[in-house]
């Protein structure tokens, strides 16, 4: 074990030790900035879909911040030897589940989402226990195809938000599109023409600019902020929990896919920051921890958790792996989560601002899938797996009533989100189609 003094400048490059405050604070806040939009936006999207407003909407955001903080701390400080990876990662509420969550929420309600999340968490735990045996079903070709579909399926959501939010007054108005495009332009400029914190926090800063402009145009209301308190401890079972078999099956499949993505993120973390591959114990503990926090989070109203690829990117760039840096980031998120005033401010963000910022996130998810698909070359076989899986998965969900002759549960599992069908078809095709050498 490496020992470091509080003034040891190299401590930030070691997992243990105490870095200086002038290193700890900015490096920790950098991770907060990179993650915060991804933490709160899924809750806002789900709240809108399920018709949740007022204090309950604020509570959803609070719980998202708290669950992310606890999930990160669990990864840094494992319990019982097997729950947590003991790696420098930020883990929390994830965009990757959003298409399926919105489908379930639109057909059922939030308690059904939370019930399916508990089942998904159990599936993730089982995946973590048997990770060595299951990984063979999810090579980069399959995982990349699914991630590509996740990003693709989120585009309509982003466009609806850029237009102001479906069903809202002024939907599609020039004002909404102006603010949305301005937000997107700021995000794009900062991402490609700036460095350091401006680049890493491009999405956050883009939303700030969009928010200020929207406020100046009279598009922001602070009514909910005034009613919010200064401290609140979320209570278990506030939203209730309902188990619907079709919703559970649908979300469980997405959990499996995201467990595979967690393997990729943990591998990127250790290779980029530690110059080694993760051990089986680290991979298993990371996925089990992800499942445990999903179950715990669901009890309080939190959404599913996954590792944050954007924060993994920070590690691969600056090679800062000290867990005190990540723990500080988690503590900042936890403090924000206990203060409803902070959470309620986030609910005032106009939907056009959210859309303008998140469409770039969804585009990044899509292209991450493309990179994974082509990581080992791209052959006719790869083309068939990706093309057919995406065509069937996306096609079924785009044609309303395409499964109308089947029982309702079939539509819920296979027709609500393209992710489930795409995953199943990609796995089957990858197993069935004869192997051939990829064309480099």
pLDDT in tens, 304-329: 998 877 677 667 666 778 899 899 98
Q: How many angstroms separate the CA atoms of 59 and 180, rounded?
A: 26
Res. 50: pLDDT tops 80: yes
**What residue spans define the domains of the chain?**
18-432
Most confident region among 8-12, 40-44, 117-121, 276-280 by mean pLDDT: 117-121
- How much is the pLDDT for 265? 78
**What confidence category does residue 438 fall into, taking pLDDT thresholds of 50, 70 and 90?**
very low
For 154, list phi and psi in degrees, rounded to 5: -85, -15
Burial class (CB in 10 A: 0-12, 13-18, 19+), 19: buried
Do residues 19 and 186 lie in contact, with contact meaning Cβ atoms separated by under 8 Å?
Answer: no
Res. 395: pLDDT tops 80: yes
Res. 366: pLDDT tops 90: no
- How much is the pLDDT for 412? 74
Of the listed ranges 8-12, 182-186, 274-278, the one predicted with least confidence: 8-12
- How much is the pLDDT for 197? 66
Res. 181: pLDDT tops 70: yes
Which is higher by pLDDT, 164 or 179? 179
Res. 67: pLDDT tops 90: yes
Average pLDDT over residues 285-295: 94
Which is higher by pLDDT, 231 or 391? 391
The two structure tokens encoding residue 179: 């603010």
Average pLDDT over residues 394-399: 86
- How much is the pLDDT for 377? 81
CA dihedral for 262, 263, 269, 272, sign (positive or negative): negative
Which is higher by pLDDT, 348 or 243? 243
Average pLDDT over residues 184-204: 80
The two structure tokens encoding residue 127: 């995946």
Res. 227: pLDDT tops 70: no
Of the listed ranges 23-32, 80-89, 99-108, 311-320, the one predicted with least confidence: 311-320
- How much is the pLDDT for 353? 87
Of the listed ranges 165-179, 283-297, 327-341, the one predicted with least confidence: 165-179
């Amino acid at each position: 074990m490496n020992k470091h003094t509080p003034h040891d400048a190299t401590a930030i490059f070691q997992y243990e030790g105490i870095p200086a405050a002038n290193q700890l604070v900015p490096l920790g806040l950098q991770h907060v900035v990179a993650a915060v939009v991804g933490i709160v936006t899924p809750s806002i999207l789900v709240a809108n879909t399920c018709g949740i407003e007022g204090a309950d909407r604020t509570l959803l955001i609070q719980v998202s911040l708290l669950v992310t903080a606890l999930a990160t701390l669990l990864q840094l400080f494992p319990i019982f030897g097997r729950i947590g990876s003991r790696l420098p990662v930020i883990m929390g509420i994830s965009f990757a589940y959003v298409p399926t969550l919105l489908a379930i929420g639109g057909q059922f309600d939030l308690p059904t989402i939370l019930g399916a999340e508990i089942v998904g968490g159990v599936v993730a735990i089982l995946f973590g226990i048997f990770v060595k045996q299951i990984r063979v079903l999810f090579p980069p070709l399959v995982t990349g195809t699914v991630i590509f579909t996740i990003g693709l399926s989120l585009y309509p959501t982003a466009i609806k938000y850029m237009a102001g939010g479906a069903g809202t007054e002024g939907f599609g108005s020039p004002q909404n599109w102006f603010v949305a495009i301005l937000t997107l332009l700021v995000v794009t400029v900062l991402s490609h023409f700036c460095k350091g914190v401006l680049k890493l926090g491009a999405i956050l800063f883009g939303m700030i600019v969009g928010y200020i402009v929207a406020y100046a145009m009279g598009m922001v209301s602070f009514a909910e902020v005034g009613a919010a308190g200064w401290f609140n401890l979320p209570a278990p079972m506030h939203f209730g929990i309902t188990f619907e078999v079709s919703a559970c099956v649908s979300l469980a499949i997405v959990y499996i896919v995201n467990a595979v993505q967690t393997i990729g993120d943990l591998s990127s973390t250790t290779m980029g920051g530690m110059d080694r591959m993760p051990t089986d114990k680290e991979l298993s503990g990371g996925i089990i921890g992800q499942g445990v926090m999903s179950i715990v989070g669901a009890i309080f109203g939190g959404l599913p958790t996954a590792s944050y690829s954007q924060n993994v990117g920070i590690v691969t760039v600056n090679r800062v792996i000290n867990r005190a840096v990540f723990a500080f980031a988690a503590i900042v998120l936890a403090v924000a989560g206990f203060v409803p005033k902070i959470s309620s401010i986030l609910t005032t963000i106009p939907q056009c601002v959210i859309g303008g910022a998140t469409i770039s996130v969804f585009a990044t998810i899509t292209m991450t899938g493309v990179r994974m698909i082509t990581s080992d070359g791209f052959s006719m076989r790869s083309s068939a797996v990706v093309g057919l899986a995406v065509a069937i998965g996306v096609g079924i969900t785009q044609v309303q009533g395409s499964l109308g002759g089947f029982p309702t549960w079939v539509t819920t599992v296979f027709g609500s989100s393209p992710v489930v069908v795409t995953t199943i078809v990609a796995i089957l095709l990858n197993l069935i189609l004869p192997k051939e050498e990829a064309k480099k």
